[in-house]
Amino acid sequence: MKEVKDKKDFALPEIVLIGLNHKTASVELRECIAFSEEEAATTLEALHGHPVIREVILFSTCNRVEVLLVSDNRSEAVETAKRLISEYKTAPIDSFDDALYIHVGDKAIRHIFRVVSSLDSMMVGEPQILGQIKGAYRAATEIKTSGVILNRLLHRAFAVAKRIRTETGIGDHAVSISYAAIELGRKIFGTLGEKKVLLIGAGEMAELAMEHLLRNSVGEIFVSNRTFERGLELARKFNGQAIQFEEIENCLQCVDIIISSTGSPDFIITRDQVKKAIRKRRNCPIFFIDIAVPRDIDPKINRLTNTYVYDIDDLKGVIDENIKDRNREAVKGERIIDENVIQFRHWYNNLDVVSTIVALRNKLDDIARVETKKTLQSLNHLSETDCETIRRMTNAFIKKILHDPTLFLKSHTKHDPKTICLDVTRKLFKLDE
């Protein structure tokens, strides 16, 4: 019963998460609190230097700033984190205190799983967050501010994120204009493989759409711009061919996908032009993506056979629907997270000194009992007292063997947590099975 009495001295530290995100803080505030990589590194070291904080990782993306830490003294750790953030970002604590959330234990574990799996993102299922968290984690491991507990937690979180991505459809449906356009293209053409694309005008969104198309390996590319020089520049960028603005009408005969985003107040392509072109191209389908406002492509073209026109509002409509689908899938993700929180909690609870020593002794006792029994069965000539002596001897062995490791694991000081040794012990003797 001695162990139980000791328990208080070896109490497990707590996992604490403190932070703010797009749901609790305005974009101005997030901008003000966001950390650059160097800032994050110095802040991490400062946090880690504090005696109550054993392990710490800091995430800072455009939608969230969060500090994940392991501490024996929750309230002091939280105060320290707040104070350091306020000092480094020269912002008074009052300015961001209301936006902060603090999660402890299971809640913190669940929160980190949700963040990494992109269930807590502004756009549920967006894939960048995983890379961002991996980067922040790497930064923390480089300066060794993360230890056994957070390493395990983050690795588990990455595994959970992967599982959610493969088992649910949270990443399935296109939620950006360019992805939506490609999805539609696939529904019309089947594969985009040899389809020719014409880009009319320049603009960030049009170029983004073009890059997505390129990644999906389309066929030949044509670029047309009012100023031919700019057109040439873009053509070089996309490895395509620049054509004059006047040539667009002829070009309609051969291209299959047209992305348009010019600043023109009038339609660039009219219904009559397309009608003629469609006849010449023997009714092969043609797909217009009109990203311009005001529009470049006459919407009446959509009524012609085998032509499909999607403008920016249509594409936004597609995206809204897909977001609804993703949110439905996210529910399945939550279930996977629940499972993993329980598993992690199990591992974490066992990381305690007392339970490790007990588990170790039980394991050795079991082995000794089985082996002595086997041996005694073949030694029939021994009397009951002899057997008892042998049993006592094996017990003494175990006691002697375990004496030093037990002392070592118990010799726990504030700055030398035995979590690493505990973890190694559990692995070495396979105590978690």
The nearer residue to other proteins, 49 or 193, going by C-beta atoms, is 193
What is the C-alpha separation between 9 and 375, in angstroms, rounded? 41
Residue 305 within binding range of other proteins, rule CB under 8 A: yes
**Site for other proteins (CB under 8 A): which residue of 101, 189, 228, 429?**
189
What is the C-alpha separation between 235 and 386, in angstroms, rounded? 94
Stretch that binds other proteins, among 83-91, 317-325, 327-335, 391-399 (CB under 8 A): 317-325
Minimum Å distance from CB 306 to other proteins? 5
Residue 310 within binding range of other proteins, rule CB under 8 A: yes
The nearer residue to other proteins, 3 or 325, going by C-beta atoms, is 325
Residue 187 within binding range of other proteins, rule CB under 8 A: yes
What is the C-alpha separation between 184 and 114, in angstroms, rounded? 30
**Beta-bridge partners for 288:** 258, 309
Residue 188 within binding range of other proteins, rule CB under 8 A: yes
**Site for other proteins (CB under 8 A): which residue of 314, 340, 417, 423?**
314
Residue 217 within binding range of other proteins, rule CB under 8 A: no
Tokens 């929750």 sit at which residue?
A: 74
Tell me the site size for other proteins, rule CB under 8 A. Answer: 20
Q: 4 to 63, contacts with other proteins by CB under 8 A? A: none
Residue 219 within binding range of other proteins, rule CB under 8 A: no
The nearer residue to other proteins, 251 or 318, going by C-beta atoms, is 318
Residue numbers annotated as active site:
62
Q: 253 to 292, contacts with other proteins by CB under 8 A? A: 281-285
The nearer residue to other proteins, 320 or 386, going by C-beta atoms, is 320
Minimum Å distance from CB 261 to other proteins? 19
The span from the first CA to the last CA of the chain, in angstroms, equals 24
Residue 252 within binding range of other proteins, rule CB under 8 A: no
**Site for other proteins (CB under 8 A): which residue of 23, 317, 328, 386?**
317
What is the C-alpha separation between 425 and 125, in angstroms, rounded? 38
**Site for other proteins (CB under 8 A): which residue of 222, 308, 344, 348?**
308
**Site for other proteins (CB under 8 A): which residue of 138, 155, 186, 369?**
186
Residue 184 within binding range of other proteins, rule CB under 8 A: yes
Instruction: Give the interface with other proteins as residue ranges (CB under 8 A).
Output: 184, 186-190, 281-285, 302, 305-306, 308, 310, 314, 317-318, 321
